[in-house]
Structures are given as structure tokens and as C-alpha cells.
Amino acid sequence: MNSPVVSPCPLRDQLPGVYAEDGFAGVFADGLDTMQAPVLNALDCLDAYFRPGLAPVHFLDWIGGWVGAELDGLATESARREAVGTAMALHRRRGTAYGLEAAIRLAFDITPEITESGGAAWSARPRGPFPGDPRPGLRVVVRVPDPAAFDIRRLETLVAAARPAHLPFTVEVLAERTDKR
């Protein structure tokens, strides 16, 4: 059983002298303290509620919704806290290969292989060849021990949300390589 929350400023101690000696007034003040103590304690610790590393577990989903954190499929508390804590940084990188890789690593704890069709190059001579492939595309490959047990729909949803909006994409789930190159 949880112990009752104690008020940081009990009302019994603040009663005027005429009521301090009255038994009913003291018991009534104690009852008010019992109801008021959780509210006062929450207000005293309010800043901790908005820090992903300190927030109560039941509050994480709520602040995760505020910052647009992707919490679907994250079972452990530490992964949920990391997702909420890094959501703003991931939003700044959204649509980049780095941002997509970070989102997949956070959600699945694996590093994907990402191939983009675009490119950038510099040339001292004009009219050089354009870098990249003229057909836009994005290919994401993840290697896992058991591809049949992997949730590919969750990966596709994540890639669709974190990729550049104009790029069509493909997702492949392959078995881990046995020869480490």
C-alpha cells in the first residue's frame, strides 16, 4: 500500500490560535491536506514532468504526442524516453538519410543500408554529367537474424513518414550476412 503524500505546508499549523485547540478544526484541516498534498507536490515538481528522463511513465505518451514522437512498437521504458527526448532533433533531420537512419535505429535498434538516387557534385568545367540517377528513388535494406519474424509493415510506415516527401521508396528485409565484410 502506498504511503499518503504529506503536505509541504500543513493547514493545521496555519490555523489561528482559537481554532488550533479545537479538535474538529484540526481533523478537518488534516482532511483538506490529504486532498491538497498531491496537487501541491505535483506543482512543486512540475518541471520534472516535462523532462523525458524524469517524467512519470504515464505522462510520457502525452508529452510524446506534443513533440510528435514515434512511440508505436516501443515496449521498453528507456526506448520510449529516448524517443521522446530525441523527437525534436529527429524532426530537424526529417527527410535526410541521416534522419531516416536515426529513426530506424531508434525504433528497431538496427542500422539500415540506405541508397538514394540523388547526388551532389562539383566540376570546374561546365556541362558535366549530373550526379545520381535521373529516376528518383530510395531503397532501405535492413538485415536481421529472422526476416520472417520482422515487422515489415511498421518499417514501411516509419520510412514513409521519415523519407523525403517526393521520393518513392522500397523496403527490403534480409537475413544477416554470415560473412562480415
> Which tens digits make up the pLDDT trace of 63-101?
988 988 888 777 788 888 998 998 888 889 888 889 999
Give the pTM: 0.66
pLDDT average, residue stretch 24-34: 88
Distance of alpha carbon 90 from alpha carbon 68, whole angstroms: 10
User: Left if phi > 0, otherwise alpha if psi is -120 to 50, otherwise beta: which for 140?
Assistant: beta
Distance of alpha carbon 51 from alpha carbon 64, whole angstroms: 11
Q: Are 166 and 136 in contact (CB under 8 A)?
A: yes
pLDDT band for 142, please (50, 70, 90 cuts): very high
Report the Cα 53 to chain-centroid distance in Å.
Answer: 11
Distance of alpha carbon 118 from alpha carbon 132, whole angstroms: 5
Q: How many CB atoms lie within 10 A of CB 111?
A: 12
Q: Are 109 and 145 in contact (CB under 8 A)?
A: no
- Mean pLDDT of all residues belonging to the chain: 86
In the chain, the percentage of residues whose pLDDT exceeds 90 is 26
Q: In DSSP terms, which residues pair with 174 in a beta bridge?
A: 143
pLDDT of residue 181: 56
pLDDT of residue 3: 65
Distances (CA, A) of 107 to 97, 101, 113, 170: 15, 10, 15, 18
